[in-house]
């Protein structure tokens, strides 16, 4: 019987292709997520689209006063003032002129503000943007630290819808202005949370597209207002508030039950099991060091603000972005808010034309990509750690100029 001289080699041959495929360990959290998912699934893209829809209702509440606070048209009666083309409502007896539509179509006609001081007439619009400033400063870091992107988007959308409903039952101008302040405070972080959540749900390849998607949704929301306002042109301005409030409330319910939390935020906060479930992966062992480092840096309520102090280049970039937003906000908010004072014969067509031009470019609510690290280096990628807080600070420039535009529009009445 022949003896078997075959032996087993002590060193097994290595598979070069396997080593190449494994590659070096990920150096950042974004690299780790990309390596796990291998891209972005259709389910995550749909969730990103759902998050971006928040911009629709945000835009509606931002510009709804273009129609609810508009100066209604009027005509003289009994021939009084027909010979004087420069005659105004304030120079004519009250019984010598009448509104072209029911008094309830605007707060100006319902509360007889046609001859009121400009500062009083512009008070609701100014109060709204002051509320946006306060909400942006006080609520921006909550999405980064304690509550997360999804929860803050839900609470912001829900409080915005409830505030709009309460605004609809305002008995006078001062209560109306107070509710506009609360409404501005509530919606201050809606767009920011939607942008950050949508971009963190997808990979790098889709982030620019998803950011643009949110801006298009904002334009869509503004463009929907002329249609709703035209259909309700002979009804009370309160109905427009109730309609937009109901739509925002339905969206808030959908967000609560359907939308998922940002996997990146979950990993940073140490909730790895939930992140793995959303990403559809089973283990995170190979990247535990990366996650632990991110968890340490995210500790604290104002951790995102600390980046501005620790990294001077982030502060400089933020100041430049805020300056640009400051100027863009003047034009972006100034034109729609002043359409009623520019001699526009048809307010509805004027708003549609203004929004049609926006589809060809970016809008003032931008900042898509600002505050998102993108993995452009070990230090610079950490700019995206506090996405909500940093992006919200960029939008403060827009809100300041929105407040100024309301004052200017009031002076022109």
Query: Which of 33-37, 123-127, 405-409 comes out lowest in average pLDDT?
Result: 405-409
Predicted pLDDT at 168:
96
Predicted pLDDT at 53:
96
Predicted pLDDT at 375:
36
Average pLDDT over residues 321-333: 82
Average pLDDT over residues 46-52: 93
- The overall average pLDDT reported for the chain is 76
Highest mean pLDDT: which of 137-141, 144-148, 240-244, 264-268? Answer: 240-244
pLDDT higher than threshold 90 for residue 111: yes
Contacts of residue 229, Cβ cutoff 8 Å, sequence gap at least 6: 67, 240, 348
Highest mean pLDDT: which of 25-34, 164-173, 392-401? Answer: 164-173
H/E/C letters for each residue in the chain?
Answer: CCCCCCCCCCCCCCCHHHHHHHCCCCCCHHHHHHHHHCCCCHHHHHHHHHHHCHHHHHHHHHHCHHHHCCCCCEEECCCCCCCCCCCCHHHCCHHHEEECCCHHHCHHHHCCCCCCCHHHHCHHHHHHHHHHHHHHHHHCCHHHHCCHHHHHHHHHHHHHHHHHHHHCCCCCHHHHHHHHHHHHHHHCCHHHHHHHHHHHCCCHHHHHHHHHHHHHHHHHHHHHHHHHHHHCCCCCHHHHHHHHHHHHHHHHHHHHHHCCCCHHHHHHCCCHHHHHHHHCCCCCHHHHHHHHHHHHHCCCCCHHHHHHHHCHHHHHHHHHHHHHHHHHHHHHHHHHHCHHHCCCCCHHHHHHHHHHHHCCCCCCCCCCCCCCCCCCCCCHHHHHHHHHHHHHHHHHHHHHHHHHHHHHHHHCC
pLDDT tens readout for residues 156-184: 999 999 999 999 999 999 999 999 999 99
Predicted pLDDT at 217:
93
pLDDT higher than threshold 80 for residue 388: no
Q: Over pLDDT 90: what percentage of the chain?
A: 32
Residue for token pair 């767009």: 191
Residues 75 and 86 sit within 8 Å (Cβ to Cβ):
no
Average pLDDT over residues 225-244: 94
Predicted pLDDT at 300:
52
Higher pLDDT, 225 or 337: 225
Sign of CA dihedral 192, 193, 198, 202: positive
Predicted pLDDT at 134:
92
Confidence category of residue 264, pLDDT binned at 50, 70, 90: confident
Q: Over pLDDT 70: what percentage of the chain?
A: 66
Predicted pLDDT at 31:
64
pLDDT higher than threshold 80 for residue 210: yes
Average pLDDT over residues 71-98: 74
Predicted pLDDT at 225:
92
Q: 0.85 cut: is pTM over it?
A: no
Predicted pLDDT at 349:
80
Quick one: which of 196, 133, 192, 195 has its CA closest to 326? 133
Average pLDDT over residues 287-310: 58
Query: Which of 51-60, 249-258, 349-358 comes out lowest in average pLDDT?
Result: 349-358
Predicted pLDDT at 16:
42
CA distance linking residue 360 with residue 53, whole number of Å: 20
Confidence category of residue 87, pLDDT binned at 50, 70, 90: confident
Pairs from 37-43 (Cβ < 8 Å, separation ≥ 24): 37/203, 37/279, 37/280, 37/281, 39/203, 39/205, 40/201, 40/202, 40/203, 40/205, 40/206, 41/280
pLDDT higher than threshold 50 for residue 70: yes
Average pLDDT over residues 329-358: 73
Predicted pLDDT at 282:
63
């Amino acid at each position: 019987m022949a003896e078997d001289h075959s032996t087993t080699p002590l060193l097994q041959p290595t598979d070069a292709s396997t080593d190449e495929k494994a590659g070096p360990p990920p150096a950042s959290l974004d690299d780790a997520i990309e390596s796990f998912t291998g891209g972005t699934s259709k389910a995550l893209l749909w969730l990103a689209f759902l998050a971006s829809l928040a911009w629709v209702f945000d835009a509606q509440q931002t510009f709804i006063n273009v129609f609810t606070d508009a100066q209604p048209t009027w005509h003289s009666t009994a021939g009084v003032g027909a010979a004087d083309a420069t005659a105004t409502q304030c120079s004519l007896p009250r019984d010598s002129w009448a509104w072209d539509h029911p008094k309830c179509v605007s707060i100006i006609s319902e509360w007889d503000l046609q001859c009121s001081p400009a500062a009083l007439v512009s008070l609701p619009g100014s109060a709204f943007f002051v509320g946006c400033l306060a909400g942006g400063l006080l609520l921006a870091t909550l999405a980064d630290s304690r509550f997360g992107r999804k929860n803050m988007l839900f609470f912001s959308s829900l409080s915005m819808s409830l505030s709009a409903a309460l605004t609809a039952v305002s008995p006078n101008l001062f209560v109306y202005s107070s509710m506009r302040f609360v409404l501005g405070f509530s919606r201050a972080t809606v767009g920011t949370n939607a942008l950050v959540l949508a971009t963190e749900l997808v990979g790098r390849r889709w982030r620019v597209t998803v950011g643009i998607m949110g801006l298009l949704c904002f334009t869509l929301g503004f463009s929907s207002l002329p249609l709703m306002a035209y259909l309700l042109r002979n009804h009370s301005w309160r109905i427009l508030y109730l309609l937009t409030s109901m739509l925002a409330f339905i969206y808030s319910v959908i967000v609560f039950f359907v939308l998922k939390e940002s996997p990146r935020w979950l990993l940073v906060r140490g909730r790895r099991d939930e992140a793995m479930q959303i990403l559809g992966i089973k283990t995170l062992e190979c990247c535990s060091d990366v996650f632990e480092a991110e968890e340490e840096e995210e500790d604290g309520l104002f951790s995102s603000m600390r980046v501005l102090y620790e990294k001077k280049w982030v502060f400089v970039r933020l100041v430049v972005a805020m300056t640009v937003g400051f100027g863009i906000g003047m034009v972006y908010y100034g034109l729609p808010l002043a359409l009623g004072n520019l001699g526009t014969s048809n307010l509805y067509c004027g708003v549609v034309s203004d929004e049609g031009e926006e589809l060809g470019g970016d809008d003032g609510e931008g900042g898509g990509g600002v505050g998102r690290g993108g993995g452009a280096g070990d230090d610079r990628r950490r700019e995206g750690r506090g996405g909500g807080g940093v992006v919200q600070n960029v939008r403060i420039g827009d809100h300041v100029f929105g407040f100024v535009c309301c004052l200017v529009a009031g002076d022109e009445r």
